[in-house]
Structure 1
């Protein structure tokens, strides 16, 4: 509460009393939001709502501050401006992805929730003193964004499915995995990935690096976790693993040509319990998914066109065959031709006579 109130320009005691009095007026309405009876007098309940509300608002604002700090550092890096490592974004709570995930879970529990109008009242009082850039709803969505699954953290299809639509996977011989296995490129329907050697120490190295990213309080990006999530999305079966081995993207030093299913399970297990704050390959996955959708649509229309041409050819052959049979059966000699022609003329003449009689009676009756 102290940190939240310190954001305002007013005296701490004055803004605290104003918030307390505002919450005290909402106690009756807040009680009606809970199904069970709350055995607390209005002053104790008001104090709980005040402290919890200030904590949640400060949490939302800190999380937004960290996000803005990271965006500013990225812009400074693009503009070649000096960036202080960690900067003002060193926060032992917000920068620990596991703590953030725990807070998201706890705040989502019904028994831990407080009425939204309580938060809104506190937010408006704080915003009156210092203008905040977002609404309360926006701050809440920013905080719960990763838990709600709004971000794209994978390629939508596995390696074999990508290959079926014409997307090629090649080992990038120009990049050495030991130096930078994150150097993955996509251009003109070709994904180039550095070769990754799988040996006995690979799992422990990956797990330690991911744990370091999860616990680091200086805002380290989740590069290793992003790579694990990407590989999990590409490798979903032993066929996918075999394909990447064939393309020299994976070299399994443990099992030679086998162990495909184990490798798929390996990358899947690496991602269990991992909170991915920023997905390093989001742009790459977006390009691959868009290209996949385009190729799938193009192949669909191509199949329809080929089927239409095939049906047209079959119909044309059937028509020719029917006309040939008709000619052989009825028009093979002059006498049969004359007989058919005479019969058709008599039929048309009879139809014309019937219509003339009907028309005559219609006008004279």
Structure 2
């Protein structure tokens, strides 16, 4: 799967989930349809994780519990693997922290990146046990689709600042007027004046 910063570039928003008790590790990907897809894009709903010094041993114990007991569902291992995949640099930590997914009390973004990248080292996870594999696949497919990539490039290039947006609008209006004049002259279309 692409990293958090790449997914954000593709127009995917990260939204913190306030789960009810028992669904602390529930992750969902919501894709809008039709016109809403152009306006809103898609959303990754992920529960907020508070990173303290005690978080690493706590999660490692939960992962060890997953790995040692064959009858246990591997939610914790799947969650740790998902977060490790999502975070590959400080930029990804910044994206998730800004969205409210990560509350970093470890120090710098580099510390949080190392935390996630070291969490799943030497941990075995079968594809059939990865509970977020389908969600990851849908999000990755969405981010690499032509329309998402095009909209991301437009947003990044033309809508990043108010001045860039104004320049884009002026350029688009100028192009539309020029195209309109060309069509009316080429096909000899007469438009009566408005009284």
State TM-score, norm by structure 2.
Answer: 0.67
Name structure 2 gaps, 5 residues minimum.
32-41, 156-167, 179-195
* TM superposition score normalised by structure 1: 0.37
Q: How far does the alpha carbon of each residue in 1:115-163 deviate from its partner, in whole angstroms, 9 at most, with x for none?
A: xxxxxxxxxxxxxxxxxxxxxxxxxxxxxxxxxxxxxxxxx21111111
Aligned residue number for residue 9 of structure 2: 164
Q: Which has the higher strand share?
A: 2
**Is contact 2:74-2:131 (8 Å) kept?**
yes
The within-5 A match list for 1:103-114 is none
Distance 1:203 1:300, change over 3 A: closer
Question: Could you say which residue in structure 1 is the equivalent of 2:95?
Answer: 243
CA distance in 2, matches of 1:297, 1:195: 27
1:279 aligns with 2:130: yes
Q: Contact 1:181 / 1:196 at 8 angstroms: preserved in 2?
A: no
Name the one with the larger helix percent.
Answer: 1
For residue 164 of structure 1, report the CA deviation from its aligned partner: 0.9
Any unmatched runs of 5+ in structure 1?
Answer: 1-155, 317-365
Are positions 1:175 and 2:175 aligned together? no
Structure number with bigger Rg: 1
Q: Give distance in 2, aligned partners of 1:252 and 1:301.
A: 30
Q: 2:142 aligned with 1:291, yes or no?
A: yes
Structure 2 residue aligned with 1:80: none
Structure ranking higher on relative contact order (CA contacts 8 Å, 6+ apart)? 2
Count residues with an aligned counterpart. 150
Distance verdict in 2 for CA 1:293–1:210, change over 3 Å: same
Task: Provide the rounded CA distance (Å) in 2 between the counterparts of 1:180 and 1:240.
Answer: 24
Give 1:180 deviation, angstroms. Answer: 2.9
Match for 1:229 among 81, 90, 96? 81
Q: 1:247 to 1:299 in 2, by over 3 A?
A: closer
1:171 partner SS:
strand
Deviations 1:175-221 (A, max 9, x none): 16x753311111121011111111121111111111111121x3322
Aligned to 1:76: none
Cα RMSD, aligned residues only: 2.9
SS in 2 for 1:175: coil
